[in-house]
Chain A
Amino acid sequence: MSNRMLALMMGVVAFLILAVGVVFVIALAGGGNDENTTPASGDGDSRPSTSAGGICNGNSLVIPGSQPNTVLDPIQVVDVSTSEYVVEIFGGLVTLDPQLQVVGDIAEKWEVSNGGRTYTFTLRDNVVFHTGNQRRVTAEDVKYSIERAADPANASPTVVAYLGNIVGLKDRFEGRAPSVSGVKVIDERTLQIDLLEPSDYFIYELTYPVSFVVDRQQIESDPRNWTRNPNGTGPFRLAEFKPAERIRLVKNPRYHLGAPKLDEVIFQLGGGSLLTQYQNDEIHTTPVPASLLDSIKDGSNPLAKDYRSYPALATFYFTLNPNKPPFDDPKVRQAFALSLDRETINSVLLFDYYDVAEGIVPGAMPGRSGTVRTYPYDPDRAKQLLSESKYAGNMPRIVLTYAGSGAAPGDVLVAIQENWQQVLGVTVELQAIDTAAFLREQRQGNFQIQSDGWSADYPDPENFLGKLFASDSPLNYTKYNNPEVDALLKQARVETNRERRYQLYAQAEQKIIDDASIIPTFWSVEHLLVKPCVQGLPNAPMTIPRYRYVEIKEP
């Protein structure tokens, strides 16, 4: 190839780069212009900034949704992404309002008697199923639904954990009884549930999907495929479900707590560039990426006017395995907890994406005690404790494992790793493993530190403390075992005075934190952009039926 040719080719490449650059500059210049003129004049870009074109004219809410992990059957729900739909389609005896108060759903009212061991529900007489002659829901339907959940043939993953306190439920689940003896139909509108031991939080457990009412006629006539078109009593009915593409819910005009104002809610499951779709008025809400949080919080981003944030009932924490060196020495665990500078990490690295956790129970949890404290950042004391420990000077190799989902993001872990390195001089290796392997090593207790988290199933401290840390709880996956904590949790479990119960949980929580085998790091916060025409969307810190409150209209 001649020199002339080479020169020519380089010229061409230079030209191309120049051309691309020009396109960029034109586009960016246009962008700046747009920002300046839109609010005032309104020509050019014809959409005024407050109105979001087409999606604000109709009466359907279009939002990003997540693919359900399991089938839309209340007794199979284990994850937030499935319960998001199940709580809208189905209903149980009771439900949660946006302030997380327990309110009647199918039940109109209930009475607790027998020292907290017997719950008697009076059902509404106007609750009907979506389809199938719009049959009225009776006490038999509630009993059938709970018995179906307990039937071992249905393999519900949650029934023992959430309804195990009902007399005879475990017997049914373990195949020793043909039915659940503690659920009794008194008459068509009265249902009585007997418990093994008194429980004040049982009413909260009933807000979890596993006890929701399903249509016996539908399930028996189509046992294999009924979940494709499930018949429930909730504010919305499933109209369309295309896996990984779309879920469409349409309103139940006969909903007994007040018909939804929306005609339909469309969940887009495919993902895509959500923020750009939001800017292009294709969806009504979108989560805010952490990278944008800074400019949105200081108001410099034009999207800032649509921003809202509220705490969520979820906690991130580290689990330190007290059966593995060096964490069998409490001083090492405490030193690790004392060297975390969570405030700086959250404000500098994350633009306050989280709240710094002051406990295991999230800050927005009703009944959370304000007295519980986590270990502060105290490098001197951390160093001192480490030097007093039996591993001073001969620290073994330490590996922290984390899974792809449910854990704090990678850069936070790196910052924390840096904390331990700088304060304690200890190198912690970070190891990402796939979720299945992560869960397996957790079950087998075969890890040193895990980065993990838990989000609330119902708004009671018991869901975090009793379920996760009582040594006999079916959900104690960390295998935490402390007789002192056990005694407090057992006392709290049967305490029917709510205030005293909350105090007992606070004591147990403080002891678990002091133990330092669980180090809470951050509380989760929701960051959302919501179009101004979407009104009444509740800022509820956990999954509740929320779309029946929403209305689309110009502000």
Chain B
Amino acid sequence: MAPGLAGYIVRRLLWAIPVLFAISVIVFYMLRLAPGDPVDSLLGQRYREEEAALIRKKYGYDQPIHIQYVKYMRHLLQGDLGVSTRHQSFTVSEIILPKIWVSARLGFIALVISFFLGIAAGIYAALARGTFLDPLTISFWLAIDAVPIFVAIPFLQWLFAVKLDLIGLSWQGFTSPNIILPILILSLPGTAGIARFVRASVLGVMKEDYVRTARAKGLPERIVVFRHIARNALLPLITIIGLSLPGVAGGSLIIEQMFGIPGIGAESFEAVLAPDFDVILALVLFGSVLFIVANILIDILYAIIDPRIRLGAQRG
């Protein structure tokens, strides 16, 4: 491990505190000051000031915003994310954690698949440069990427479920084959971007002196490709992987809606419409934490893989 790594992590984590504090204040005030509150949507056409006042009191919305904020933070620091006004018998953690878990697993599987395919296709295309196989590979994935999911999903659903009768479309969890279609649709379109990135990166590395040296030494092509080219060419991918992690846990609204997946994408959408104050706040804070952690992870990974990179300021 690089020297000073522990100190670096601690410093970065300490920096995260004021960032998260600022985010929480801004989002908290924005939610409360925006027109429309949860009581509006709870009561709908039956809204009367008498009942609305009772409900505002029940949730503490009648108090000044800074008091509400202090109370919220006190609960938050005790691990209590508050209550959902859309799912009244459930706490925010009970609502969002299982859904984040569903979306994160789904997203992670899709991410692994699209990176695996993308890296393979990218390296293959780069090595095949100058032949028709290079543009064929890239165009193939671009063509898949270019199909709008509004077209792809109904067509694939009809083809695999109704026509071929291979799978069902209702959500049955991760052990059911029904999961295959949403995973394909989540992973395949992302492959093109990764493939192009890897291809460019590999082509860049192939011009490096050390690759020429390795070839000149008479190393087998397999060793040159995997040890010298791929390893160096894939280093920038860490940033892409790291930055796609928060998105992975965020879920996909459209895909979740069209497959009836109980994920966090659909929940976030509904929470914002309601608006479900505590759920929105919890999701924003969760996203921020994920983003900060992903960034720290990227830095650490770079330091481990590439010893030339030094983290932060060095002490004598």
Q: Chain A: residues with CB nearer than 8 A to chain B?
A: 5, 8-9, 12-13, 16-17, 20, 27, 30-31, 34, 45, 67, 69-72, 76, 78-79, 152, 155-158, 160-161, 173-174, 225, 227-228, 242-245, 268, 270-273, 276-277, 279-280, 282-283, 404, 406, 434-437, 439-440, 443, 454, 474-475, 477
**What are 7 inter-chain pairs, A to B, with CB distance below 8 A?**
A30-B163, A243-B95, A271-B260, A273-B157, A280-B168, A436-B36, A454-B45
In the assembled complex, the Cα of A156 lies from the Cα of B157 at a distance in Å of: 44
Instruction: List residues of chain A with CB within 8 A of the CB of B159.
Output: 27
Contact of B170 among A174, A268, A437 (CB under 8 A): A268
Instruction: List residues of chain A with CB within 8 A of the CB of B43.
Output: 78, 157
Instruction: List residues of chain A with CB within 8 A of the CB of B270.
Output: 67, 244
> Is B68 an interface position by the 8 A CB rule?
no
Instruction: List residues of chain B with CB within 8 A of the CB of A174.
Output: 50
Q: Chain B: residues with CB nearer than 8 A to chain A?
A: 35-37, 40-48, 50-51, 54-55, 57-58, 86-90, 95, 98-99, 132, 135-136, 139-140, 143, 153-154, 157-159, 161-163, 165, 168-171, 257-262, 266-267, 270, 273, 275
Q: Flag if B266 contacts A8 (CB, 8 Å).
A: no
Contact of B169 among A67, A272, A474 (CB under 8 A): A272
Instruction: List residues of chain B with CB within 8 A of the CB of A5.
Output: 135
Question: In the complex, which residue of chain B has the Cβ closest to the Cβ of A272?
Answer: B260
Instruction: List residues of chain B with CB within 8 A of the CB of A67.
Output: 86, 270
Q: Flag if A277 contacts B168 (CB, 8 Å).
A: yes
In the assembled complex, the Cα of A283 lies from the Cα of B172 at a distance in Å of: 13
Instruction: List residues of chain A with CB within 8 A of the CB of B275.
Output: 436
Q: Flag if B50 contacts A160 (CB, 8 Å).
A: yes
In the assembled complex, the Cα of A9 lies from the Cα of B136 at a distance in Å of: 7
Q: Flag if B41 contacts A270 (CB, 8 Å).
A: no
Q: Closest approach, in angstroms, between the C-beta of B151 and any C-beta of chain A?
A: 10
Question: In the complex, which residue of chain B has the Cβ closest to the Cβ of A72?
Answer: B89
Instruction: List residues of chain A with CB within 8 A of the CB of B162.
Output: 276, 279-280
Contact A440 B165, CB 8 Å, known A78-B46, A242-B262: no
Q: Flag if A12 contacts B136 (CB, 8 Å).
A: yes
Q: Flag if A79 contacts B44 (CB, 8 Å).
A: yes
Q: Flag if B88 contacts A76 (CB, 8 Å).
A: yes
Contact A12 B35, CB 8 Å, known A69-B42, A283-B170: no
Instruction: List residues of chain A with CB within 8 A of the CB of B273.
Output: 404, 434-435
Contact of B135 among A9, A268, A434 (CB under 8 A): A9
In the assembled complex, the Cα of A8 lies from the Cα of B99 at a distance in Å of: 46
In the assembled complex, the Cα of A9 lies from the Cα of B134 at a distance in Å of: 9
Instruction: List residues of chain A with CB within 8 A of the CB of B40.
Output: 435-436, 439-440
Q: Flag if A243 contacts B132 (CB, 8 Å).
A: no
Instruction: List residues of chain B with CB within 8 A of the CB of A440.
Output: 35-36, 40
Q: Flag if B88 contacts A276 (CB, 8 Å).
A: no
Q: Flag if B260 contacts A276 (CB, 8 Å).
A: no
